[in-house]
Structure 1
Amino acid sequence: MNQMPLDFGDDKNGLGRRSESYASGDRLFFALCPPDAVEQQAAAIADDYRRAFSLSGMPRLTTLHVTIIWVGDYARLPEDVVFAALQAGATVESAPIAMSFDRIMRFPQARALVICGEGGRKPLTRLRVQLGVSMHNAGFPHNIGGNFKPHMTLLYDRKAVPTAALDTPVSWTASEFLLIHSVLGKTEHRIIDRWPLLG
């Protein structure tokens, strides 16, 4: 599950607009993406849980990510929004972030099976705040909520599964963050730009 965005309504430039729910269209967000080895580890966990709990949801192997901050949902992605988000991303500085997810659980509202944990939460939160401030300076509405729980969605399914500790944590050091265009209604992510985490 991506973090639930706030409903800002329309604003003059259409930045951060979410006045209606789009079943199709475009979503823009900043995220960390795991390396191939971590994707394979997450895929194995998803497969184990699908078999153990007879889940019908398919793993999201091509779009695994950790959302840092949501930019907006749009019927059609506006060029001025992309330009403003690029400006915001370019102003942010952070050291590499050591991520570690040691639990698996279900987010009931989103019907999402996710892995999560505290490893990397504090530096990722600092990066999130930097992006939120930069986005606000670029013309976006305030978009920094207090209930931030870094996670990676493995699949969506209606069935409940118990929260459990992972035998082996899913860990990696993120050396970059990305601006991603998600095509809603499809399992498709397009990387618009990426920035190194150099410290």
Structure 2
Amino acid sequence: MPEQLWLPGLEAPPPLTDGLFFAVYPDSNTAAGIAKFAQQLCADHDLRGGGRRGVRSKPLAANRLHVTLRHLGNFSGGLPADVLEAAKRAAASVSMAPFTVEFDALASFAKKPRPGPAVLVGEHGVRGLQALHDALEARLRDDGIEPDERFTPHLTLAYGMPWIERRPAEPACWNVREFALVHSLLGRTRHIVLARWPLVGQN
């Protein structure tokens, strides 16, 4: 077997192991209803032949359903202490009243012809999420975190789904009374909530 060559400066970068993001979670009853809808959506897809093409859909379990408010990055070998502390300072300075969120449409983040995520989206019912994102974004910018204003409020239902045209869905609605900072163990399908902040501001 020939000896493998090693060239300085060309070694592979270390794998990304840890992610950090802010999130909003539905209450347990709402999450259970959304998870049931996601399971049915995937079952319908697989019955239509998705599995025979080698693409099995993967619905998210109820305890993993969430709305990502702001992704703060993926890292190797743990979470950087400076980013973690900046995130906590920003979150603690947000003042906002609780609000109601409503997702009322099914859409796709897939890119033809490749399968991708099926998601719930909304319009008027997601304005509170947009406001919370913007408040966090402003505080993070003040603390030196590079701005990222790209935000489409959505809740991922399943992966491995074909592209679909946006269409109405039975509304998923709940009261948002807090948001969380979440540590994602990449590749291990595990999320750890590091801290939560209640929404206690005035309208």
Measured against the shorter chain, the TM-score band is 0.7 to 0.9
Check conservation: 1:22, 1:74, Cα contact below 8 A.
no
Cα distance in 2 for partners of 1:158, 1:100 equals: 23
| Cα distance between partner residues in 1 of 2:14 and 2:107 | 26
8 Å Cα contact 2:16/2:74 also seen in 1: no
Distance 1:48 1:194 in 2: 31
* Amino acid corresponding to residue 172 of structure 1 in structure 2: W
- Please give the TM-score of this superposition, normalised by the length of structure 1: 0.81
In structure 2, what is the equivalent of residue 177 of structure 1? Answer: 179
SS at 2:34 equivalent: helix
Amino acid at match of 1:84: A
- Cα deviation 1:147-170 (Å, max 9, x = unaligned): x3211101110533443211x311
- 1:76-95 paired onto structure 2 within 5 Å: 76-95=78-97
How much does 1:122 deviate? 2.0
State the secondary structure of the residue aligned to 1:46.
helix
Query: Is 1:28 aligned with 2:8?
Result: no
Q: Give the whole-Å Cα distance in 2 for the aligned partners of 1:161 and 1:154.
A: 13
Query: Is residue 2:75 matched to residue 1:74?
Result: yes
CA contact (8 A) 1:105 1:163 kept: yes
What's the RMSD between the two structures over aligned residues?
Answer: 2.1
Matched, 1:154 2:162: no
For residues 22 and 155 of structure 1, do their structure 2 counterparts lie closer, same or farther at Cα, with a shift above 3 Å needed?
A: farther
Residue ranges of structure 1 left out of the alignment (5+ in a row):
1-20
Q: Once the two structures are superposed, what CA deviation does each residue of 1:161-198 show, in whole Å capped at 9, x if it has no partner? A: 443211x3110011001111111112111111111112
Q: Are the counterparts in 1 of residues 45 and 161 from structure 2 also a CA contact under 8 Å?
A: no
Q: 1:119 to 1:35 in 2, by over 3 A?
A: farther
Counterpart CA distance in 2 for 1:49 and 1:123 is 27
- Residue 45 of structure 1 corresponds to 37
| 1:29 and 1:68 in contact (8 A); partners too | yes
TM-score (norm 2): 0.80
Deviates further, 96-105 or 156-165: 156-165
Q: Deviations over 1:46-89 (max 9, x none)?
A: 11111211152222213111111111111121122111110111
Quick check: which has more Rg, 1 or 2?
2
Where structure 2 has 5 or more consecutive residues not aligned to the other structure, the ranges are: 1-12, 51-55
Matched-pair contact (CA < 8 Å) for 1:97–1:173 = yes
- Which SS does the other structure have where 1:123 is aligned? helix
SS of equivalent to 1:98: strand
Q: Distance in 2 between matches of 1:42 and 1:126?
A: 23
Does the residue aligned with 1:149 lie in a helix, a strand or coil?
Answer: coil
Structure 2 distance, partners of 1:142, 1:164, is 32
Percent of aligned pairs with the same residue? Answer: 33
Q: Determine helix, strand or coil for the equivalent of 2:108.
A: strand
The question of whether the paired residues in 2 share the 8 Å contact of 1:183 and 1:189 is answered with yes
AA aligned opposite 2:41 = Y
Q: Secondary structure at the match of 1:128?
A: helix
